[in-house]
Amino acid sequence: IYESQGYSQRAAVRSILENNLYGLDIDKRAYQLSYFAVMMKARQHDSQILFIDVSCHVYAFEESNNLDGNLLKYFGYGLSEEEIGSATTQTLALLDTFIDAKEYGSIINVENYDWDLLLKFISEINPSVLESIHASRVENFSNHIKHLIKLGKVMTQKYDVVITNPPYMGSSNMNTKLSTFVKKYYPDSKADMYAIFIEKCGQMARPTGLQAMITQHTWMYLSCYEKLRIKLLNNSIVNMIHLGARAFEDIRGEVVQTTAFVINKREITNYKAKYIRLVDYRNQQSKENGFASKENHYIAKKEDFVKISGSPVSAYFLKPEIIDLFATSVGEFLDCKTGLICGNNNKYIRSWQEVNSNNINYNVMSLSDTIDVSEKWFPYNHGGKRIKWYGGHYEVVNMYNNAIEMRQEPNSMLRNSNFYFREGITWNRVGNGTNFHARIAMKGFVFDDCSPTGFTKELYELLAYLNSPIFSYFISLFSSGFKTEIGHVKKVAYRKIGNPLISSLCIDNIYLSKNDWDSFETSWDFKYHPLICSYDTIKMSFIKFKLEANDRFEKLKANEEEINRIFIDNYGLNNELSPGVEEKNVTISYIFDSRSDIPQSMKGNKFVVTKINAIKSLISYAVGCMFGRYSLDEEGLIFAGGKWDSSKYQSFIPDADGILPITEEAYFENDITSRFIEFIETVYGQETLEENLNFIADALRGKGEDSRTVIRNYFLTDFFQDHCKTYSVHGSGKRPIYWLYDSGKQNGFKALIYMHRYN
């Protein structure tokens, strides 16, 4: 550029150094590296650059904490009293500005002082001082002030282009000084340091200048940055590459999700900015390829963003006619609430299997009803596994007598308690919106801050909508981080369709999901094990279970796709979305013979069941019958505390003392392996006993010369570990109901007891 205007290389380099490049850094080492890089680049074109007096405007921050303002009386020699007074006042203010400067760095706000006057003032030292004992101290003070003047001049100057990759630091990680400072001077961007730098860089650019940055992408949609977005949209976004996660090979995971953008400080009406969306590519190379392919390119105008609540810049990929759908939103139909904070989870929350079943009340309709009942524990929606339609019922909460004890807890908050125990729609707050799963919140449940819940008269249509790809498509505008808050959900576009088929399909989906959920003993509505049926062989029972479960899976998948089709057609999104549902995203069981049979389309599905899982669950159920938790004569949970009723057990009698020895050999008549074989014979008959034991042993794939040895070894080494996995709570760890007593590591004497029979 310079050479085309008649400059020599040497003259161009010197002009660029002195007039075009300015840099600041809080870290002296970073400053040194930057200075070195700039000067070496200059020397590439001018071999004499290091030997001449040329200014390189790259600086490290210095603080004024230890500079004594009283020394200013020695400066300004030869200046008028008016000039000295003005310079002294301005210099003292400059010293105040740079107190703790290394704490704040470039976000310091510096007044635009008379820099020429200050430099002249601080350069003119009274000659008498230079001959005194104060000379060294005064000269050192002068040098520091000169550096602060250079810093101040750089920070108040306006630039044609401001470029940076700012530091990332959430407000929770800021120390007290920094937190107080940003709250005072950057209230619209205080949530993270990178956002503060977005605001600061905008202040440093000229009215016609450009601001170019790569930052975290959360400023585009989070509600805490709404005021910042409004400021930025008063300018003009020129272009953006939305990179998302894994844009850089040395930064792995989902934590750092970035966007690179250029902003023109001028407000240009109806400017058509260009956006490139690379968030769906999973690594740096694929993002580079995606960029080069010129796919996922969008044109958007900022005027369209403000049509959506919160003005999310993340809406750049939506067509104007789609943005018009945001005229009405979910929040107008769904009254979303956040719920209980116990103050002490370990004290007030239990896995439902841990407590006496007679002390759980499933039928309370309001918090005031807890005053009139004797039970202490009540069903609790507390986050948990991400599942659609129905389920996630793992825990109970102590709300005894209007939560009288919890109310005394210092950190407890019974938020929106008048909505407790009502029917609604709930979801797990932890997780981004693109992986959103909504399910029905049944009557009788308390909900907490991990399971926000919405209440509506349009329960089934809204539940269907929240589980549709349209909702996931829209909520990505507001929630690409690690939490899906109430505010995100309420902003999503929604219009009521009123098609009764949607509600009918939704009710069917709840029914299908409930049937699947209740097929496993971790459900409090579990009735009997699905492998116990009319067949006399476990092989045929497994085939029946497999067919029923897989038919249920296919039915649910078809229902979801029909719901999606209705919504997509109604919203006019056929070009943007497909009604198809990937098999890995269906949240009920699908059964395979082995893991090697699982197709690629099901990889990642956390609800897959294999033959070995089914057999292990049958073994677990059998142990439950040995302890009297279940009975072959009655459905459901029989004993989990309370009064023992032996009349409930006729076909298979539980162990008398509630202790099941686990040994390498059959030392006891009532050891766990012997009792299990007795159980299989009782359920399926003597004639098929060996066939059934062989089927179990083959499924377990364990060590042993015969089926009985394989089964015995399973109890000896693996059963308790599997039991702990079954009875574990997401985020809370293991909650076993059968406890293992073990004499040591050499597989000596072991025994299981049932916690509800322990006394």
- 3-state per-residue secondary structure call for 42-84: HHHHCCCHHHCCCCCEEEECCCCCCCCHHHHHHECCCCCHHHH
Give me the pLDDT at residue 733, please: 73
- For residues 375 and 255, state if they share a domain: no
What is the b/e burial string over 287-320, where b = at least 16 CB atoms within 10 angstroms of the residue's CB?
beebbeeeebeeebbbebbeebbbbbbbbbbbee
Give me the pLDDT at residue 670, please: 86
Give me the pLDDT at residue 667, please: 81
Minimal CA–CA distance to 206: which of 159, 164, 152, 267? Answer: 159
Give me the pLDDT at residue 254, please: 65
Give me the pLDDT at residue 434, please: 67
Asked whether residue 594 is assigned to any structural domain, the reply reads no
Question: What is the CATH classification number for the domain harbouring 287?
Answer: 3.40.50.150
- For residues 282 and 168, state if they share a domain: yes
Domain boundary, last residue among 142, 157, 172: 157
CA separation for the pair 486, 388 (Å, rounded)? 18
Minimal CA–CA distance to 556: which of 486, 464, 466, 625? Answer: 464
Taking 90 as the threshold, does the pLDDT of residue 95 lie above it?
yes
Give me the pLDDT at residue 430, please: 82
Asked whether residue 400 is assigned to any structural domain, the reply reads yes
Minimal CA–CA distance to 151: which of 282, 28, 24? Answer: 24
Q: Which residues contact 439 (CB under 8 A, 6 or more apart)?
A: 387, 388, 389, 390, 391, 392, 425, 426, 427, 463, 513
Torsion angle of alpha carbons 631, 633, 636, 639, nearest 10°? -40
Phi and psi dihedrals of 429, rounded to 5? -65, -30
For residue 1, count CB atoms less than 10 angstroms from its CB and return exposed for 0-12, middle for 13-18, buried for 19 or more: exposed
- For residues 382 and 518, state if they share a domain: yes
Tell me the average pLDDT across 545-552.
98
Asked whether residue 52 is assigned to any structural domain, the reply reads yes
- For residues 147 and 169, state if they share a domain: no
Minimal CA–CA distance to 571: which of 305, 330, 323, 389? Answer: 323
The rounded Cα 591 to chain-centroid distance in angstroms is 30
CA separation for the pair 466, 452 (Å, rounded)? 13
Strand ranges of the sheet holding 453-455, from the earlier edge strand across to the other edge: 335-337, 453-455, 424-427, 438-441
Tens of pLDDT along 656-713? 999 999 988 888 888 999 999 999 999 999 999 999 999 999 999 988 889 999 999 9
Q: Which residue range forms the structural domain that includes residue 630?
A: 614-759
Taking 80 as the threshold, does the pLDDT of residue 431 lie above it?
no
Determine the angle formed by the axes of helices 707-717 and 719-726, rounding to 10 degrees: 60
Domain boundary, last residue among 542, 571, 601: 542
Written as six digits, the tokens of 563 are 């719901």
More confident call, 667 vs 337 = 337
Asked whether residue 560 is assigned to any structural domain, the reply reads no
Domain boundary, last residue among 483, 514, 542: 542
Taking 70 as the threshold, does the pLDDT of residue 466 lie above it?
yes
- For residues 111 and 216, state if they share a domain: no
Q: Give the pLDDT band (50/70/90) at residue 421.
A: very high
Q: Which of 5-19, 245-259, 353-367, 591-605 has the lowest mean pLDDT?
A: 245-259
The rounded Cα 112 to chain-centroid distance in angstroms is 43
- For residues 246 and 356, state if they share a domain: no
- For residues 722 and 662, state if they share a domain: yes
- For residues 89 and 36, state if they share a domain: no
Taking 70 as the threshold, does the pLDDT of residue 433 lie above it?
no
Tens of pLDDT along 20-63? 999 999 999 999 999 999 999 999 999 999 999 888 999 999 99
Percent share of the chain, pLDDT over 90: 87
- 3-state per-residue secondary structure call for 215-260: EECHHHCCHHHHHHHHHHHCCEEEEEEEEEECCCCCCCCCCCEEEE
Q: Give the pLDDT band (50/70/90) at residue 232.
A: very high
- For residues 53 and 183, state if they share a domain: no
* DSSP-derived pairing of the beta strands 57-60 and 22-25: parallel
Tens of pLDDT along 115-142? 999 999 999 999 988 888 789 999 999 9
Q: Give the pLDDT band (50/70/90) at residue 170.
A: very high
Torsion angle of alpha carbons 227, 229, 234, 238, nearest 10°? 170
CA separation for the pair 211, 209 (Å, rounded)? 7
> Tell me, what DSSP letter sits at residue 22?
E
- For residues 422 and 521, state if they share a domain: yes
Question: What is the CATH classification number for the domain harbouring 478?
Answer: 3.90.220
Taking 80 as the threshold, does the pLDDT of residue 368 lie above it?
yes
For residue 253, count CB atoms less than 10 angstroms from its CB and return exposed for 0-12, middle for 13-18, buried for 19 or more: exposed
Q: How many CB atoms lie within 10 A of CB 72?
A: 21
* DSSP-derived pairing of the beta strands 335-337 and 297-300: unpaired
pTM (two decimals): 0.85
Count of helix runs (H) and strand runs (E) in the chain? 25, 23
- For residues 493 and 357, state if they share a domain: yes
**Residues comprising the chain, all counted:** 759
- Asked whether the beta carbons of 469 and 460 are under 8 A apart, the reply is no
The rounded Cα 278 to chain-centroid distance in angstroms is 20
Written as six digits, the tokens of 91 are 């210099």
Give me the pLDDT at residue 385, please: 83
Tens of pLDDT along 298-319? 999 999 999 999 999 999 999 9
Asked whether residue 593 is assigned to any structural domain, the reply reads no
- For residues 263 and 174, state if they share a domain: yes
Average pLDDT, the chain: 94
Give me the pLDDT at residue 422, please: 97
Q: Give the pLDDT band (50/70/90) at residue 729.
A: confident
Asked whether residue 579 is assigned to any structural domain, the reply reads no
* DSSP-derived pairing of the beta strands 159-164 and 236-245: unpaired
Own/partner long-range contacts of 355-362 (Cβ < 8 Å, ≥24 apart): 355/396, 355/640, 355/641, 356/640, 356/641, 356/642, 356/756, 357/637, 357/640, 357/641, 357/642, 358/641, 358/642, 359/641, 360/396, 360/524, 361/444, 362/444, 362/524
For residue 257, count CB atoms less than 10 angstroms from its CB and return exposed for 0-12, middle for 13-18, buried for 19 or more: buried
Give me the pLDDT at residue 512, please: 98
The rounded Cα 370 to chain-centroid distance in angstroms is 34
Taking 80 as the threshold, does the pLDDT of residue 64 lie above it?
yes
What is the b/e burial string over 156-184, where b = at least 16 CB atoms within 10 angstroms of the residue's CB?
eeebeebebebebeebeebeeebeebbee
How many domains is the chain built from? 5
Q: How many CB atoms lie within 10 A of CB 286?
A: 13
Tell me the average pLDDT across 199-221.
95
CA separation for the pair 626, 589 (Å, rounded)? 27
CA separation for the pair 348, 490 (Å, rounded)? 30
Tens of pLDDT along 240-257? 999 998 888 777 666 789
CA separation for the pair 184, 200 (Å, rounded)? 14
Written as six digits, the tokens of 424 are 């609604």
